[in-house]
Structure 1
Amino acid sequence: MNEIKEITPQEVENKLDNNEDIKVIDVREDDEVAQGMIPGARHIKLSDIPQSVDQLPKDESYVMVCRSGRRSMNASEFMKEKGFSNVSNMEGGMLKWDGELVF
């Protein structure tokens, strides 16, 4: 199994602040997302990932996010298996996110 790279919430925030080309995908449920999302993140529930990955370009850099980092790790592993080469998991999930939120 390919090792999934983990990225800290601070590193994600720095990349977003520096306008680096990363795509943040939030795999939490609707009620969790209603409590706030990382600005610019795209919401695709974990259960919707299998049918949604075909619509995502494989050459982009993705950071997967959930509440604690476990579901997003599952999503990251699934995407790696589907041929996405640049997928990271945000360590600790939204529980560790100190940055701005959008509602």
Structure 2
Amino acid sequence: MFGPQIPTVTVNEITDATYLLDVREDGEWAAGHAPGAHHLPMMELPARLAEVPTDVDVAVICRSGGRSGHVVAHLVQNGWDRVRNVEGGMQQWAAAGRPVTTDSGAPGQVV
């Protein structure tokens, strides 16, 4: 979708040590997200750029990989070198059998 300039990672390559950055909107996050993910909606990124770590592997995820690809491109252009786009996004996360939860700990869903 974005060509070779956008580094990617598969759902199965994400470990507990990876900083998982979910850039979906509030309603999408509330419906269900990966446990341990950090929420930063895409439109808020420019104002909150300092919240994204530069010293660990960062995997950026959205619903299907489009928005997160744009975020990864922006981060790479701004000096991040350990950032990757999650192929297939939360749809692939759920399809791979990875857990999806809500803030209350109840099972969630990808919307």
Is 1:60 equivalent to 2:56 in the alignment?
yes
Is 1:100 equivalent to 2:92 in the alignment?
no
Using structure 1 for the length normalisation, give the TM-score: 0.86
Alpha-carbon separation, structure 1, partners of 2:75 and 2:37: 17
Q: Structure 1 segments of 4 or more deviating over 4 A? A: none
User: What is residue 6 of structure 1 aligned with on the other side?
Assistant: 8
Q: Percent identity?
A: 33
Asked if the contact 1:68/1:95 (under 8 Å) is kept, the reply is yes
SS of residue paired to 1:34: helix
Using structure 2 for the length normalisation, give the TM-score: 0.80
Question: For structure 1, which runs of at least 5 residues remain unmatched after alignment?
Answer: none
Is 1:85 equivalent to 2:84 in the alignment?
no
Is 1:25 equivalent to 2:27 in the alignment?
no
Deviations 1:57-103 (A, max 9, x none): 32221000000100000000111111111000000111111301220
Question: For structure 2, which runs of at least 5 residues remain unmatched after alignment?
Answer: 103-111
Provide the aligned C-alpha RMSD in A. Answer: 1.6
Among 30, 50, 67, the alignment partner of 1:34 is 30
Structure 1 residue 5: Cα displacement: 1.7
Deviations 1:3-44 (A, max 9, x none): 2221111222xx12xxxx210000000111112111110000
